[in-house]
Amino acid sequence: MIPVPAGTQIWVACGTTDMRKGIDGLAMLAQEVVKKSPYCGHLFAFRGKRGDRIKILWWDGSGLCLYANYLASYCISFNWKRGL
């Protein structure tokens, strides 16, 4: 579990993200697409094309942290809601 301070916002990127991107690439996406600084303390969530992988970028005060997970390992029937 990520120990997130109270009042932290979570930004979920719409669409898909290239999961080959690392910290620098995702920080650039957060800055360009969401128009927020990746160093503001908010969480930025990005999903892969198939919807089974997620990466979360978070500034913890001392550096950028990148959390990556394969969602099927926790929930076999995990489905992303599709936009209208």
Residue 61 lies in a domain: yes
Residue 23 lies in a domain: yes
Per-residue pLDDT tens over the stretch 24-80: 999 998 888 778 888 888 999 998 888 778 899 998 888 999 998 887 655 555 556
- The 3-state DSSP class for residue 42 equals coil
Q: Where are the beta strands (DSSP E) in 1-84?
A: 10-12, 43-47, 53-59, 64-70
**Global pTM?**
0.77
Residue 53 lies in a domain: yes
Residue 82 lies in a domain: no
CA–CA gap between residue 57 and residue 63 (Å, rounded) = 10
CA separation (Å) from 59 to 2, 34, 45, 46? 11, 15, 13, 15
The domain in which residue 51 lies consists of 10-73
Residue 84 lies in a domain: no
Report the number of distinct structural domains present in the chain.
1
Residue 3 lies in a domain: no
